[in-house]
Structure 1
Amino acid sequence: MSLSAGRGAVRELPPVAARVDDALARLDAKIDWLLALSPIGNAALWESFEASGRTAVPPLSYIDLDLDLHQTRQELLALPIEEIESPLLSGLLAEKQRELDRMLELVRLRDTDGFVNASLDLFGGVDPALSELARGILQDVGPGAPLEADTGIDEILEAVNAEMDWYRERAPDFHADVVVDTDLNSMMMVSHGTFYVDGNLRLPAARVQPLLQHEIGTHVVTRHNGHRQALTQLEVGLAHYDALQEGLGVLAEYLAGYLPGERLRVLAARVLATEMAVNGQGVPAIFDVLHETHGLPTDDAFDVAVRALRGGGLTKDAVYLGGLCELVEYLHAGGDFEPLFVGKFALTHRKVLDQLLDEGWVAPPDLLPRYTTLPDFPERLSACRTLPVGALCHKEPAT
């Protein structure tokens, strides 16, 4: 890929392509499948699990989307994909249309016997090589140095605001809404351009910046850069973009100076939990293996187990370690780093992005993550081009 950082102009899409692109982006925002599959009442869920002697959990509860699934699917499938003027754009937009249809299926089949198959269709499962890597990490990678969780939500929000200000100084239109949620099934997450943070969160100070580089430096920055492209899908995400986004997010933690071993272990645990969920294992069995066999702390083991059973068995969590593996393989082969930030796409799209560049529909990234300005960033990136995935972690924070 020949893109490099800097501002650039793009030409408009042809009329039908632009109309379909806009409609797909609007439908993507409407189909907030991840929100529909995020359990609520997590504190009560743990209390019930603990009261049962860690042998049972009540059914997971979710919010219901204000969405007519049948009408939305009709609208999605009625889009005039075959009338798009460019075969290149038609192929990309048809691929996104198919993905959104599968996402509707996930929401429709939530907590039914058909959910796991729908999840496998969309995200795939766990291949033997990834399973072997995950088990190796859980066996061989130890936790980092013990650090006190001395940073609470107020200090974290100060860091979030400072981070946003840093980007706005370079691009005044840089933006993300920030929402504090005390019933969040993640420490932090970005969904449809909104940055969510757990209101009960406490972290070691050394972990704050790496996690912000994961969420803001990856997910918000690529959305910002994608917003400047002619193809709106580069803002909301081309089909199957999750693996590269999450791979970049995890790598950002390493490049920002502190990816502790326990973080890598959690990603490996998610792979194992996904595999067990697909095979019909429930939260108690997954928790037991992660906590008793592999030594994960109770909160991590329970969180990973619940995540794996979202909707009835959501296989997306294997994407984090899988995406990191694909990204590391790309870097080992000499792949360019900066073009990965032009928007949200899959590594399989990089040849297509070159064609979009040639057609004038893609410009270089407007912003790069803040960690790329660190003095030793070139050395850290160089290490990522040689180290195996299992070695991409730190015993202590970088100074």
Structure 2
Amino acid sequence: MKTHNTVTSNSLLDIDKSIDALVKQIELLSLVNPTNIEAEKTRFFSSKYLIEPVFKYPEINFDKFKLHRKLFTQKIECIENNEIKNFYEDIIYTYSGLIQCIETIGNGKKFYYNSLHCFGTPTEIDVENAKYILHFKDTDKDSPAFVPKYNAKEAESFFKTYSKQYDFSYHIKQSDKISAIAMVSNHEKSLVLNSNHLYSDNEIAVLTNHEIGVHMVTTMNGLLHPLKIFSHGFPNNEETQEGLAVFAEYMSDNLTVTRLKELAYRVIAVNSLAKGYSFSKTFSLLHNQYDLDRETAYYISVRAHRGGGFTKDYLYLTGLKKVYDYYRSGNDLNLLLTGKVSLEYTKEIQLFIDKGLAVPAKYITDAYAENSNTNKTVDFILKNLK
């Protein structure tokens, strides 16, 4: 005869497995990246920044309505632990929101409102923090470490060397269809490098710690649990994951004022969406008012306007602040490396580990071993963010 706990556990594992099968095909980031970024850049620049880019997106190859329906037929009432039941309710609403985002990619305001629902938008304090950062001079960008010199193929060797410390393997691919200079595809367990980009020594140092040290580490840790949701992502995991990744840059002494300003510009760009700015107006704000070079201004504008208005980018700065405060309060960062988890659910993570439904993090971010930061200005900024 099964015990009460076993029945609960089996119901939970069945529901988790069912959700796993449904959400495997949902990777918003790979679907919201335009496929014609470079062609539209040429057109936009040659028009003297007047013609609005017209972005194209990958085909969506699943039945979105059927996915919604199957998500909401999960029998979460069978989960007898209230905390866990509430958690899975949050999961279902979160993934339903992501499907709505995917349904409306390229559909202007509809996508923007769905993005708002999933990721929120900067508060006045977030915008004040961004403007505060932008007051600082970024003299570090004049150093030789910031000179672009490695193509994507050459950059690969640095990632391979850095990754030797971790007992896992992953693929490295190149793409000219991503708006970032590098990204981890959680679903494919691969690192994607932007084939149009020339990487500097500073960018290599930042990206190895950010993409491999955190994003790939949490991808690989997420696969080790009985519960699959650690792999696909908790609600609001993007803020925590990006916060952890930028914090790894800080701990490894690679976070610069230049990088912090990049994150601040992203907040300004996302805030421009809330003001109803067009792509060209966001670009003009960054390029003319903030004196950002046109290449950087273009890519930051793409990141904010892709899909029809993608608000996720402001979360890098809010996530960094939250993880920085969490660390300074003496909390365990390793708990946040267990997968694609969120700061808001640390109690649930520990509960899952205690119940044998999850395991402690096997792979630990190298940069977290000790604080190697020597940049006093960066420290000053992080301590004084509101």
Shift of 1:165: 3.0
Letter in 2 for 1:327: V
Any conservation in 1 of the 2:108–2:309 contact (CA below 8 Å)?
Answer: no
Distance 1:385 1:354 in 2: 32
CA distance in 2, matches of 1:296, 1:190: 27
CA distance in 2, matches of 1:75, 1:123: 23
- 1:183 matched to which residue of 2? 177
Cα distance, 1:202–1:12 mapped onto 2, change above 3 Å = farther
1:235, 1:343 within 8 Å by CA — same for their partners in 2? yes
**Matches of 2:340 and 2:177, distance apart in 1:** 27
The answer to whether the 8 Å contact 1:332/1:385 transfers is no
State the match for 2:95 in structure 1: 100
The residue type paired with residue 174 of structure 2 is V
- Paired amino acid for 2:45: E
- Deviations, residues 70-127 of structure 1 (Å, cap 9, x unaligned): 1111121122222224333222222111111001111122214322221111111111
Residues 328, 385 of structure 1: 8 Å contact kept? no
CA contact (8 A) 1:334 1:385 kept: no
Whether contact under 8 Å (1:69, 1:104) holds in the other structure is yes
- Write the distance in 2 (CA, Å) between the matches of 1:155 and 1:58: 31
> Equivalent of 1:32, from 24, 27, 34?
27
Query: Following the alignment from structure 2 to structure 1, what is the Cα–Cα distance between the partners of residues 137 and 119?
Result: 26
| Residues 23-65 of structure 1: CA deviation (Å, up to 9, x unaligned) | 2223222122222211111111111111111122232111111
Counterpart selection for 2:104 from 85, 104, 109: 109
Match of 1:232 among 228, 231, 243: 228
Please tell me whether the aligned partners of residues 39 and 61 of structure 1 are also in contact (alpha carbons under 8 angstroms). yes
1:82 is aligned, of 69, 77, 80, to 77
Distance between the aligned counterparts of 1:382 and 1:143, measured in 2?
A: 12
Contact preservation (8 Å) 1:210, 1:254: no
For residues 223-265 of structure 1, the C-alpha deviation after alignment (integer angstroms, 9 at most, x for no partner) is 2222222221112211111111000111111222222322211
Given candidates 340, 345, 357, the residue that maps to 2:353 is 357
- Contact 2:8-2:80 within 8 A present in 1 as well: no
Secondary structure (helix, strand or coil) at the match of 2:183 reads: strand
TM-superposition CA deviations, 1:310-331 (whole Å, max 9, x none): 1111111111111111112222
Partner amino acid, structure 2, of 1:195: L
The amino acid that maps onto 2:88 is L
- Structure 1's 261 and 196: CA in aligned 2 closer, same or farther, altered over 3 A? same
Q: Residue 42 of structure 2 aligns with which residue?
A: 47
The residue type equivalent to 1:162 in the other structure is T
Secondary structure at 1:14's aligned position in 2? helix
The whole-number CA distance in structure 2 between the counterparts of 1:295 and 1:160 is: 32
8 Å CA contact 1:237–1:344 kept in 2: the answer is: yes
Whichever residue aligns with residue 185 of structure 1, its letter is S
Q: Give, in whole Å, the separation in 2 of the partners of 1:203 and 1:390.
A: 30
Task: Give the counterpart letter for 2:356 in structure 1.
Answer: G
- Post-superposition offset of 1:167: 1.0
Alpha-carbon distance change, 137 to 361 in structure 1, aligned in 2, over 3 angstroms? same
Contact 1:116 1:314 in 2 (8 A): yes
Q: Deviations over 1:192-231 (max 9, x none)?
A: 2322111222111232132111011101111222222222
Match of 1:164 in 2: 163
Distance 1:138 1:384, change over 3 A: closer
Relative distance call for 1:187 and 1:385 in structure 2 (3 A) is: closer
SS of alignment partner, residue 192 of structure 2: strand
Contact (CA 8 Å) 1:139, 1:294: kept in 2 or not?
no
Equivalent in the alignment of 1:6 = none
| Conserved 8 A contact 1:120-1:315 | yes
The residue aligned with 1:389 is 382
Q: C-alpha displacement at 1:387, in angstroms?
A: 4.5
Secondary structure, in 3 states, of the residue corresponding to 1:23? Answer: helix
* 8 Å contact from structure 1 (residues 137, 390) kept in 2: no
C-alpha displacement of 1:286? 0.9
Within a 5 Å distance, the mapping from 1:1-399 to structure 2 comes to: 14-110=9-105, 111-146=107-142, 147=144, 148-168=147-167, 174-192=168-186, 193-372=189-368, 377-380=370-373, 387-389=380-382
Measured after TM superposition, the shift of residue 335 of structure 1 is 2.1
- 2: CA distance, partners of 1:249 / 1:386: 17
| Structure 2 counterpart of 1:397 | none
Unmatched segments (≥5 aa) in structure 2: 1-5
> 1:7 corresponds to which residue?
none
Percent sequence identity over aligned pairs: 25
Report the AA paired with residue 54 of structure 2. Answer: P
Return the offset for 1:284.
Answer: 1.1
Query: Measured at CA, do residues 352 and 302 of structure 1 come closer, stay the same or move farther in structure 2, by a change above 3 Å?
Result: same
Does the 8 A contact of 2:209 with 2:248 survive in 1? yes
